[in-house]
Amino acid sequence: MGIPRFQRTVVPLFFLSFLLLTLANSCLAARTLTSLYQPPPLSLTYHNGALLEGNLHVSILWYGQFSPSQKSIIADFLLSLNPSAPSTSSTQPSVSYWWKLIQTYLKKAGKRETHILLSTQIYDTNCSLGKILEKSQITELATKVNSKPGGLTLVLTAEDVAVEGFCMSNCGFHGSNTKHESPFIWVGNSVTQCPGQCAWPFHQPIYGPQTTPLGAPNGDVGVDGMIINIAGSLAGTITNPFGNGYYIDSGGVPMEAASACTGMYGKGAYPGYAGELLVDSSSGASYNAVGVHGRKYLLPALFNPLTSECSPIV
Greatest alpha-carbon span in the chain? 66
Identify which of 4-13, 76-85, 177-186, 294-303 has the greatest average pLDDT.
Answer: 294-303
pLDDT of residue 32: 37
Angstrom distances, CA of residue 307 to CA of 196, 214, 252: 32, 29, 23
pLDDT of residue 254: 83
pLDDT tens digits for range 251-303: 677 899 999 999 999 999 998 899 999 999 999 999 999 999 999 999 999 99
Quote the number of domains for the chain: 1
The answer to whether residue 298 is domain-embedded is yes
The answer to whether residue 4 is domain-embedded is no
The answer to whether residue 35 is domain-embedded is no
Mean pLDDT along residues 29-55: 68
Cross-strand partners of 153: 59, 184
pLDDT of residue 35: 39
The answer to whether residue 27 is domain-embedded is no
The answer to whether residue 11 is domain-embedded is no
310 vs 260: CA distance, rounded Å: 8
12 vs 14: CA distance, rounded Å: 6
User: Who's near 57: CB < 8 A, 6+ residues apart?
Assistant: 117, 119, 150, 151, 152
State pTM to two decimals.
Answer: 0.88
pLDDT of residue 63: 98
Q: 115, 90, 92: which is closest to 102 by C-alpha?
A: 115
pLDDT tens digits for range 181-198: 789 999 999 999 999 999
C-alpha triplet 205, 211, 215: angle, nearest 5°: 85
91 vs 87: CA distance, rounded Å: 10
The answer to whether residue 184 is domain-embedded is yes
pLDDT of residue 11: 44
38 vs 305: CA distance, rounded Å: 20
pLDDT tens digits for range 118-169: 999 999 999 999 999 999 999 999 988 875 667 999 999 999 999 999 999 8
62 vs 43: CA distance, rounded Å: 35
Residues 48 and 244: beta-carbon distance below 8 Å: yes
The answer to whether residue 190 is domain-embedded is yes
pLDDT of residue 48: 95
pLDDT of residue 300: 97
pLDDT bucket at 6, cuts 50 / 70 / 90? low
pLDDT of residue 206: 83
Angstrom distances, CA of residue 226 to CA of 181, 221, 269, 299: 25, 9, 20, 10
More confident residue, 92 or 266: 266
Angstrom distances, CA of residue 218 to CA of 18, 36, 150, 248, 294: 27, 50, 32, 33, 11
Residue 91 predicted with pLDDT over 60: yes
pLDDT of residue 313: 93
pLDDT tens digits for range 197-255: 999 999 998 877 788 899 999 999 999 999 999 999 999 999 999 999 999 887 677 89
Q: 184, 188, 185: which is closest to 166 by C-alpha?
A: 188
102 vs 148: CA distance, rounded Å: 25
The answer to whether residue 7 is domain-embedded is no
Q: Which of 78-92, 279-293, 298-312 has the least mean pLDDT?
A: 78-92
Domain limits for position 287:
45-311
